[in-house]
Each structure stands twice: as C-alpha cells, then as structure tokens.
Amino acid sequence: MVHVYASMRGGKAFILFVLGTSIVMAIGAQAVSTLDDAARLVRLNRFTEAMVAIKSSLATGKEKPSRVLSDVAFQPLQVDSSQRAEVRKILAQNVIENELTMVFPNEPGIKLRVEGKVVSQQDGAPKAGVIVYLYQTDAKGIYALIRGEDVGSRNPRLFCFVKTDSAGKFSVNTIVPASYPETTEPRHIHWEIHQIGRQGAFLFDDDPVLTPALRVKEAKYLQKVSEVKGVKVIAPVIKI
C-alpha cells in the first residue's frame, strides 16, 4: 500500500509518498522515485506499486529504462502477461538509450549483439533519434507462454526499444533466437519503427534451415554473422 501525506510550506505543496520501508518525496505533484524503490516493491510482490515507481523514476530521465529488462530484480514482471504488457507500454514512452541489454543474465541461449544502423533510403545519410522496437523468440523458439500456449508476437517476452544516436547507430545485447518449434521457419528478430509504420526482420546467414531457394527469397533480410570474444554479432542496416 502507498501512504500519502500532504502539507503546505511556503505556498508549495509537499507530498510524501511512503512505499513500504522506502520514502519518495514529491514537490508540486512531481513525484521522484528510483528503480531501486521499484525493485524492492517487486521483491515484495507489490507489482502495481512497482509499476508506479518505475513510471515515476523513468520520467526523470536519469534512470536507464533497459534495467527493467536486464536486472533480475525485475524478472517477475515478465512472467505475467498483463504486467509484461504494462512494462512494454512504460518503456515505449521512455526511450533514451542507444545501447542496451534486453535479456536477463540467466536467459538461456547463445549471446548475440545487434550493431544496427538506420539510414535514409534516398541518400544513405544516418537517421538520428529514430526509435526502433525489437522483439524475438527465445532459445526454444517461443515468444511467451500463457497456459502452455505461445501468445506469439502480440506480447513477446524478449523485446526492447532503442533510439539511434547522432550517427544513426544502436547496439543491443540479446541472444540468438530459435526457429518456431517443429517448423523450418528461419530464426529471426523483428524490428518496427512505429513513427513511420515500417517493419521488417533480421535473418541469420548461418541458419542451417536456410535452403538455397530461401536464401534467394530472403536475401534482403539476411545478416552476415561474425563472432567477437564468444559473442555472435550482426550489423544490420535499416533503410527508411
């Protein structure tokens, strides 16, 4: 439960929020909280209050939103589909990072780094400040399970929002996705740029399910895979 105390001092409204054992001060209705506060609330299974704390802390612009996707303290929020959807909504409204990690340290799978770039389709000039939404399956080819069924791309467990830097670049640490179970669908990572309604996918040129015919058909999506210090690397270029 969040206890709220208000008082007037010098003509200003001072609001004191007490979140369990932590205290959050707000002045003039501008709440200030931290992701540490949110993590403590998650540990107490107080998820609704944790969401409030996450939203408040990210609104300051001083916290890294991707911590919610990579700090195991927040992992319980990814289990429940409604909580995961709320986390996605909050993160979509607070995109400030051009380099981040979108998986928890205990996520099974082969490590992968996506070193992407967004450029103009007309002249190849870098596009700064573009928000890219990425999502993918896990190492078993699953987006997210609800009552034993994969919910597909509607509410994926592995996702992130990243913003391109002044050179149009972004970098995301994740894992290599798997093909959908019992299919020969090439493994891939989806990307979307909601600002202009564009979407596509990154495929991997070392994927064993790719037949010669598929390689021709999917040529524009194929990414060369390299390896640096045990981490797979792809460097896709998105033209918009």
pTM (2 d.p.): 0.85
Q: What is the pLDDT of residues 163-208, one digit of tens each?
A: 999 999 999 999 999 999 999 999 999 999 998 999 999 999 999 9
Q: With a cut of 80, say whether residue 22 has pLDDT above it.
A: no
Among candidates 107, 57, 36, 116, which has minimal Cα distance to 78? 107
30 pLDDT tier (thresholds 50, 70, 90): very low
Per-chain mean pLDDT for the chain: 89
Count the Cβ atoms, other than its own, within 10 Å of residue 45.
8
Alpha carbon distance 165, 167 (integer Å): 5
The angle formed by the CA atoms of residues 9, 10 and 13, to the nearest 5 degrees, is: 50
Task: State the maximum Cα–Cα separation within the chain, in Å, rounded to a whole number.
Answer: 75
- The length of the chain, given as a count of residues: 240
Under DSSP, is residue 240 helix (H, G, I), strand (E, B) or coil? coil
Task: Give domain limits for the chain.
Answer: 1-94, 95-240
Residue 45: the pLDDT is 96
pLDDT score of 109? 98
The three-state secondary structure class of 90 is helix
What letter does residue 186 receive in the DSSP assignment? P
Q: What pLDDT does residue 124 have?
A: 96
Composition of the chain by helix, strand, coil, percent to 5:
25, 35, 40
Q: Mean pLDDT throughout 17-29?
A: 48
> What is the architecture of the domain spanning 95-240?
Sandwich (2.60)
